[in-house]
A = this chain, B = another copy of it.
Amino acid sequence: MKNQMQWEEAKAFCETLTAEEDALTREMVARLADKRSLWTMAVLAEADAPLRFSRIIEQVKGVSQKSLTKSLRGLERDGLVTRAVFAEVPSRVEYALTLLGLELLEQVAPLWMWVAGSVGAFYRARRAFDRR
The answer to whether B13 touches A116 (Cβ under 8 A) is yes
Counting every copy of the chain, the complex holds 2
A interface residue numbers (CB < 8 A to B): 3-4, 6-7, 9-11, 13-14, 17, 21-22, 24-26, 28-35, 38, 42, 45-46, 76-79, 100, 102-119, 121-126, 128-130
The answer to whether A6 touches B110 (Cβ under 8 A) is yes
Contacts of A104 in B (CB 8 A): 114-115
Supposing A7-B45, A32-B33, A35-B30 touch, asked if A119 and B77 sit within 8 A by C-beta, the answer is no
Q: How far is the CB of A109 from chain B (nearest CB, A)?
A: 4
CB < 8 Å neighbour of A106 from B6, B26, B121: B6
